[in-house]
Amino acid sequence: MAEHWTYKRFLETLATAVNGKPPKKLASSWLLNIGWQLDWAKTKLTGMRRQLTRNLVRTLSTDTQYNSDKIKTALNFEFKAVDDIIRETGRLYLK
């Protein structure tokens, strides 16, 4: 990636790219933990596929940053801007 993004910024940009509504409120970690447990119970009762897992909640609750300097130097490579990629993907999705 060319830059560091938060989930909030990513979801807002993605929603805009596909003509959707961006999330309005930030779910706290305790609410997400209750949510995955309720989702697990719903899955057991209805047989429907999981939407919110413990691993997803853990990922959403952590701030992980990756550094691409090593690969950029080794391959002499430059990444495209994330904004541009999301807009292009959204345009192709809406076709």
Amino acid at 56: L
Over range 40-63, report the average pLDDT.
Answer: 93
Residue 59 phi, psi dihedral angles, 5° rounding:
-65, -40
User: What's residue 22's pLDDT?
Assistant: 92
68 — pLDDT class (breaks 50, 70, 90): confident
User: What's residue 2's pLDDT?
Assistant: 60
pTM of the entire predicted model: 0.69
CA pair distance 85, 73, nearest whole angstrom: 22
Over range 11-38, report the average pLDDT.
Answer: 94
CA pair distance 44, 50, nearest whole angstrom: 10
Q: Is 60 or 32 the better-scoring residue by pLDDT?
A: 32
Q: How many CA atoms lie within 13 A of 15 on its CB side?
A: 11
